[in-house]
Structure 1
Amino acid sequence: MSLLLIVILFGVSLLISCNTTPLPLRVAVNLWPGYETLYLARSLGYYDNTSIKLLDFPSGTEQVRVYRNNNLESAAISMDQALELATTNPDVRIITVIDFSEGGDVILAKPEIPNLQALKGKRVGVEANALGAYIITRALEKAGMTTKDIKVVSLGLSEHERAFKDGIIDAVVTFGPARTKLLAFGAKEIFNSSQIPGEIVDVLIVHKTAIANQSKDIQALVDGQFKALNYLAQNPQDSARRVAPRTQVTPEEFLESIKGLRRPSLQENQQLLDRENPALLENTQRLIDVMVANKLLSKSLDAMTLFDDRFIKAVEL
């Protein structure tokens, strides 16, 4: 064999080996407490020897934008934002229900504001995304009001605490670390998501192309989520110690923040994502209808097309 041929074959083999490097499975995660099980899974080593990359985002707004730019394969995100994405990105698939917010999302107000009706004419901080708009719309509906009755102040999640403490706003739609810190500051809770049960759902979405090309890592992502959920239930203090620093709260504050969440088990997830079980499908379709009616979605969607239960059915703990 000639020296030239040997060099060529070596070069080709080198190119092939370079091209077999696994693509990263980029997973966008914001500061919602329910998503911390993904970071707990990483801390516990469940994502070792995978190509899973958890990426921090300040809020769902940025997650939606980056996903639309095709710079993500997956995201932990609220259902309303998943629906918002699906109107422009039909490749979105929902593969896991992470939690139901049953008190985790709140409207906090100054102590002198006793209830929702007292918000009339007040400045209310709302994150500029579908979730913030949905919560304030539904809360005001329950009080016989609309957003025309208040002064909406658009704020990023990172601005909630400072804007409230500085008196820039009278109330705020918030969650997570900001909720914990503002309650400690003396804010009064006048609404929470337990008053609209089943309507605020957090899910794990993946790109349809990733399902075709990165199914092994997606399965590892889902497996790790449920292993971490079990670990959290059995070892709450150690779990809180591992994840609390990311959101800059104490372990005790983290454990307090997840009390407003209901995290469905693996078995419940398998039932929820089963297309023959109408509960989640009906709830999602109702959410779609409410969002379209309130101009929070540009068009209607068929909820049936969004769910994919192959990974939840194959989980190994």
Structure 2
Amino acid sequence: MKIRKLLSLLIIFVFGLAIAVSCTPSQPTSNYASTTPAKTSPIQMGFSAWPGWLPWQVAQEEKLFAANKVKVDLKWFDGYLDSINALAAGQLDANTQTLNDTISSIAAGAEQVIVLVNDNSTGNDKIIVRDGIKTIGDLKGKRIGVEVGTVDHFLLLLGLKKAGLSATDVQIQPLETGIAAAAFVAGQIDAAAVFAPFTTKALQRPGSKELFSSKDFPGAIPDHLVVTRKMIEERPQDVQALVNTWFDTLDFMKKNPEKSLSILSKRAGVSVQEYKQYDAGTKIFTIQDNLKAFSPGKDMHSLSYAAQEVSKFLVELKLIKTAPDLTKLFDDRFVKTYSQN
């Protein structure tokens, strides 16, 4: 009898303890250091042919996503603009995009957030011209191939504005970047606004040369990892894992340069020697560079300042109707968490 009574009391105690524990409010997480995925479905992530984004191929082949406990379905896009449209249409959870293209998407109603700076273009975006064109002024009336609405269109307009010209002073030929490079080599257009690795293709035309590049406009073309706001709200641990994977990938590339170059050049469709030429035209951002970029500033090296300038420029050129709300465009919590850990 005593045993049954003791057992009953024990059961009552354990049951009461379980209720007490279950009713205790859970403490909010102070950061996103955990790499445990909130869901098991893979992140749909897009990337395309740009030296600052190709390291994601290294992350995939070296299983660095898995090392950070995040499932990623990495999708390659031959056309950069297609990846932008896919994210805006809800077909992707994350994508690699430039600042101006992300602002354009937000102006159109997309809910997107920049969580990481991959790089700054320092020469790999170029305006390449045929023989006989020596100055930006010589572009007046010429046929220029460019993927309308992309970063190289933006660069072209920056150059024209600097020379006192506008888009109406030239003949814009709307062409996907790879097609623009091929059309230029075939002699169908006078100039092409292209980015690496398509610059290598365009420069195969005899007598062709670089007229100006992103090197002439420092900080104007930052490249990012962009995620949907839904991803941040529902799967912050996975966003953190993506950011962690990026920096782990940079560490791997530093320790394994030959193997990494082989992966990068193969994905870009060029030789290792050709790929090495892209290094000077792309500044890959370290964690310190990221922290600085996300900080307030008064020049194009600060993302908040650059976003305001780019937004005004896009409105001025009527690429967007009105300037969007940029207050929620950047989220630096993930790079800060990586830095702290």
Q: Which of 223, 228, 231 is residue 249 of structure 2 equivalent to?
A: 228
Give the structure with the higher percent helix: 1
Residues in 1 aligned to 2:286 and 2:142: alpha-carbon distance in whole angstroms: 40
Residue equivalent to 1:44: 62
Residue equivalent to 2:229: 208
* 8 Å Cα contact 1:28-1:74 kept in structure 2: yes
Q: Which of 43, 50, 75 is residue 25 of structure 1 equivalent to?
A: 43
Residue identity opposite 2:318 in structure 1: K
Please give the secondary structure, in 1, of the residue aligned with 2:59. helix
Distance 1:203 1:29, change over 3 A: same
Deviation at 1:166, TM superposition (A): 1.3
Residues in 2 aligned to 1:21 and 1:302: alpha-carbon distance in whole angstroms: 30
Residues in 2 aligned to 1:301 and 1:101: alpha-carbon distance in whole angstroms: 24
Residue equivalent to 1:10: none
Residues in 1 aligned to 2:235 and 2:213: alpha-carbon distance in whole angstroms: 38
Q: Which of 158, 163, 167 is residue 178 of structure 2 equivalent to?
A: 158
What residue ranges of structure 2 are gaps of 5+ in the alignment? 1-37
Post-superposition CA distance 1:146-175 (Å, at most 9, x none) = 122211111112202320121111110001
Residue identity opposite 2:56 in structure 1: L
Q: Is 1:138 the counterpart of 2:158 in the alignment?
A: yes
Residue equivalent to 1:170: 190
Deviation at 1:266, TM superposition (A): 0.5
Residue equivalent to 2:88: 68
Residue identity opposite 2:319 in structure 1: L
Residues in 1 aligned to 2:219 and 2:247: alpha-carbon distance in whole angstroms: 21
Q: Which of 252, 257, 264 is residue 273 of structure 2 equivalent to?
A: 252
What residue ranges of structure 1 are gaps of 5+ in the alignment? 1-19
Q: Is 1:92 the counterpart of 2:103 in the alignment?
A: no
* 8 Å Cα contact 2:99-2:222 kept in structure 1: yes
Q: Is 1:124 the counterpart of 2:144 in the alignment?
A: yes
Deviation at 1:311, TM superposition (A): 1.2
- Larger C-alpha radius of gyration, 1 or 2? 2
Residue equivalent to 2:21: none
Residue identity opposite 1:35 in structure 2: W
* 8 Å Cα contact 1:285-1:302 kept in structure 2: no
Post-superposition CA distance 1:220-249 (Å, at most 9, x none) = 211111122233344433211012111210
Deviation at 1:104, TM superposition (A): 1.0
* 8 Å Cα contact 1:128-1:155 kept in structure 2: yes
Residue identity opposite 1:259 in structure 2: A
Count of aligned residue pairs for this structure pair: 297
Residues in 1 aligned to 2:254 and 2:191: alpha-carbon distance in whole angstroms: 33
Residues in 1 aligned to 2:184 and 2:256: alpha-carbon distance in whole angstroms: 35
Residues in 2 aligned to 1:133 and 1:215: alpha-carbon distance in whole angstroms: 33
Residues in 2 aligned to 1:166 and 1:199: alpha-carbon distance in whole angstroms: 30
Q: Which of 183, 188, 192 is residue 209 of structure 2 equivalent to?
A: 188
Distance 1:22 1:252, change over 3 A: same
Residues in 2 aligned to 1:100 and 1:141: alpha-carbon distance in whole angstroms: 21
Residue identity opposite 1:69 in structure 2: A
Q: Which of 223, 228, 240 is residue 261 of structure 2 equivalent to?
A: 240
Residue identity opposite 1:142 in structure 2: K
Post-superposition CA distance 1:86-105 (Å, at most 9, x none) = 11335211101111111110
Residue identity opposite 2:236 in structure 1: S
Please give the secondary structure, in 2, of the residue aligned with 1:244. helix
* 8 Å Cα contact 2:48-2:54 kept in structure 1: no
Instruction: Give the TM-score normalised by structure 2.
Output: 0.82
Shifted more, 133-142 versus 212-221: the winner is 212-221
Residue identity opposite 2:203 in structure 1: L
Deviation at 1:65, TM superposition (A): 1.6
Post-superposition CA distance 1:31-71 (Å, at most 9, x none) = 11110111112222201252111111123321222122211
Post-superposition CA distance 1:260-311 (Å, at most 9, x none) = 111221022123224x556221121111111111112221123332111121
| Percent of aligned positions that are identical | 27
Alignment of 1:267-278 (within 5 A): 267-274=288-295, 276=296
Residue equivalent to 1:6: none
Residues in 2 aligned to 1:183 and 1:111: alpha-carbon distance in whole angstroms: 11
Q: Which of 292, 312, 316 is residue 315 of structure 2 equivalent to?
A: 292
* 8 Å Cα contact 1:266-1:312 kept in structure 2: yes
Residues in 2 aligned to 1:178 and 1:271: alpha-carbon distance in whole angstroms: 30
Q: Is 1:114 the counterpart of 2:134 in the alignment?
A: yes
Residues in 2 aligned to 1:134 and 1:262: alpha-carbon distance in whole angstroms: 19
Residues in 2 aligned to 1:191 and 1:233: alpha-carbon distance in whole angstroms: 30
Residues in 1 aligned to 2:132 and 2:315: alpha-carbon distance in whole angstroms: 34
Residues in 1 aligned to 2:88 and 2:310: alpha-carbon distance in whole angstroms: 22
